[in-house]
Structure 1
Amino acid sequence: MHVITSRAEFTLSSPFPNTTIDITSIHAQAYYEEEEEVGTIDYQIPFSVPPGISVTPRLPVALNMGGIGGDALRKAIGGTLDLSAVAKVGVQIEHYRETVTYHGKGITARVKW
């Protein structure tokens, strides 16, 4: 996560060895200590996830710098912060479209200026 530019990028691992997945949208919230919202992503520009490991474009993040989550984010600059997240991700594989809901815990975010 890049605090100054309010952007985040993610490393993805495609489960399909021969098929490209298209991400059509992302609506996500990140939480510190599972309750304190740190930021949200609302991204509508499609991008492709090729087979194997890839990195997303830098996604814009609306940071919530108030409260305990904001304090934790400021203290983590130059280090890491453990987060949880909930996301609704639009996915397309050829002509098949679906919205996938992701719940993640123990996500280690590297926090950079």
Structure 2
Amino acid sequence: MVGEITKEKVEIVRKCCVIVEEEIEAAAKAGEIERPWQYFAALLPTKTVGVRGDERSYHYTIVVRAVRSLDGMTANFSPLPPKLLERISSRITNSVREAGRVVYDITNKPPSTVEME
């Protein structure tokens, strides 16, 4: 989680992590992908504009991160298929009402790190 930690944000990211883990593990088990070394959801501290029903809404952006690595010193993002990313995004935005946008982090390490803080 990025930014100030609150009970609300912890619960949101926990729900999103479960979805990411379930979808990636199911895809790996089905042979759709090679299981990434690490994979998780993170919550950005700013809200994004969206639409719920006929109303403008402001909800959190969720980052999905999945990487491949042999030693943890370097890592490359895992190229998850668009259909898998779509399933993850749909599940998160439909079942976690505080989440309004889902993005996929394709940054390698370096220059980034695996974790977000």
- Greater relative contact order (Cα < 8 A, sep 6+): 1
- TM-score between the two structures when normalised by the length of structure 2: 0.30
Greater helix share, structure number = 2
Greater strand share, structure number = 1
